[in-house]
C-alpha cells in the first residue's frame, strides 16, 4: 500500500498539483480515461498513409508563420470558449519546465541510449533545441484528464523537433534518463495524429523506482505530439492505478480544441 501511494504521488507530479490530487486518487482511473469515446485521441493515419508520411521525412515550411512570444502563447491556451466545460489549470510557476516560462533544452546524452534522447526530452515538454516560450497546463473535460505543454520555437527548429522524435521512435524501445524519476520501457509508436501540420503519437511504460522498494512499479502513459506552425504541442495521459496494463487515451476533445486555437490564432466565439 505504501508503494501504491508513492506511485500516485510520483505520477501526480507529472499530472497535477495541489489538493486536487486526492480527487484524482479517489475518483479517477488515471490522467486519461481509458475506454471512454471522449478520451480517444484524434483519428490517426495508419497503414500506407502513415508509412508515406514517415518516408517523406520532415515537412519543409512553405511560408513563414508567427513565432509566439510568452504572452501570446499564454493567451493561446484553450479555455471554455473553445471547449465548454473544460477546466484548465496552471501547474506551478517559474522557468524550470513547470507552469509558465521557458523549458530548458535537454541534450540527447541525458538518455541512455542517446538515440532515445528526443523521446526523453519530449516527455518533459522539451527537446535539444532552445525554445522561445512555453506553458504547461492540466486540463480536464468530461472526466478525462491530460497534461500538456505548448512550446514555441523558431519555425525550422519546430520542424526538427517533430522529425527527430519520429526518427527516434523507429528504434527507441527503452531507456534510462538523468533528468527523470523513472526508467522507460515498452515504447511503441502508434498512428500519427491527423491534425495540425504534422505529429506523432506513442505509448510507453514508466517504471517508478525508489530506495527501499522491492521492485519498480509500472505506470502506462500515452503521448501525442503535434506541430502547428512554429508551436509544438505535447499532450500526455498517465494511468494512476498501479500495476495495470491499460494505456489511457489522450482526450481527443482537448487536443482538437487546443489545436484549433493554435491554427486559427483566436479563441472560439459563441
| Other Cβ atoms closer than 10 A to 130 | 13
pTM of the model: 0.80
Give the pLDDT of residue 47. Answer: 41
CA angle 184, 194, 16 (to 5 degrees): 45
Integer angstrom CA distances of residue 222 from 31, 58, 138, 213, 263: 10, 23, 15, 25, 23
Write out pLDDT tens, residues 97-138.
456 778 899 999 999 999 999 999 999 999 999 999 999 999
pLDDT in tens, 242-260: 667 889 999 999 999 999 9
- pLDDT number for residue 226: 99
At 18, list the grid cell.
Answer: 495541489
User: What pLDDT is stored for residue 187 in this prediction?
Assistant: 98
Choose among 112, 94, 113: nearest CA to 104: 94
pLDDT confidence tier of residue 70, bands split at 50, 70 and 90 = very high
Q: How many other C-beta atoms lie within 10 A of the C-beta of residue 67?
A: 19
**Least trusted range by pLDDT, from 8-22, 163-177, 223-237:** 8-22
pLDDT at 242: 62
Q: Grid cell 527501499 — which residue?
A: 212
The pLDDT assigned to 60 comes to: 55
pLDDT in tens, 30-40: 454 433 333 34
Cα–Cα–Cα angle for 136, 249, 265, rounded to 5 degrees:
45
Per-residue pLDDT at 45 exceeds 60:
no
What are 195-205's pLDDT values in tens digits? 999 999 999 99
Q: Is the pLDDT of residue 58 over 60?
A: no
Chain CA centroid to CA 112, Å? 21
Of the listed ranges 7-21, 200-214, 239-253, the one predicted with least confidence: 7-21
Residue 37 to residue 163: CA distance in whole angstroms: 29
Using the predicted structure, report yes or no on whether residue 214 has a pLDDT greater than 90.
no
What pLDDT score was predicted for residue 25?
32
Amino acid at each position: 500500500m505504501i508503494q501504491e501511494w508513492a506511485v500516485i504521488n510520483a505520477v501526480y507530479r507529472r499530472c497535477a498539483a495541489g489538493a486536487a490530487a486526492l480527487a484524482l486518487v479517489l475518483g479517477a482511473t488515471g490522467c486519461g480515461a481509458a475506454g471512454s469515446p471522449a478520451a480517444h485521441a484524434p483519428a490517426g493515419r495508419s497503414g500506407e498513409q502513415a508509412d508515406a508520411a514517415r518516408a517523406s521525412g520532415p515537412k519543409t515550411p512553405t511560408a513563414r508563420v508567427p513565432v509566439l512570444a510568452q504572452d501570446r502563447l499564454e493567451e493561446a491556451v484553450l479555455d471554455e470558449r473553445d471547449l465548454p466545460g473544460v477546466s484548465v489549470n496552471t501547474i506551478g510557476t517559474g522557468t524550470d519546465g513547470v507552469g509558465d516560462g521557458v523549458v530548458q533544452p535537454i541534450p540527447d546524452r541525458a538518455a541512455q541510449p542517446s538515440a532515445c534522447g528526443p523521446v526523453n526530452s519530449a516527455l518533459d515538454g522539451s527537446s535539444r533545441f532552445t525554445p522561445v516560450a512555453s506553458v504547461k497546463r492540466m486540463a480536464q473535460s468530461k472526466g478525462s484528464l491530460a497534461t500538456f505543454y505548448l512550446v514555441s520555437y523558431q519555425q525550422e527548429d519546430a520542424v526538427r523537433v517533430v522529425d527527430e522524435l519520429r526518427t527516434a521512435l523507429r528504434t527507441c524501445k527503452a531507456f534510462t534518463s538523468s533528468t527523470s524519476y523513472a526508467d522507460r520501457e515498452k515504447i511503441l509508436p502508434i498512428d500519427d495524429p491527423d491534425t495540425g501540420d504534422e505529429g506523432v503519437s506513442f505509448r510507453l511504460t514508466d517504471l517508478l523506482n525508489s530506495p527501499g522498494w522491492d521492485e519498480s512499479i509500472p505506470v502506462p502513459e500515452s503521448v501525442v505530439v503535434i506541430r502547428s506552425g512554429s508551436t509544438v504541442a505535447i499532450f500526455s495521459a498517465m494511468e494512476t492505478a498501479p500495476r495495470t496494463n491499460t494505456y489511457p487515451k489522450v482526450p481527443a476533445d482537448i487536443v482538437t480544441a487546443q489545436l484549433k486555437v493554435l491554427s486559427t490564432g483566436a479563441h472560439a466565439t459563441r
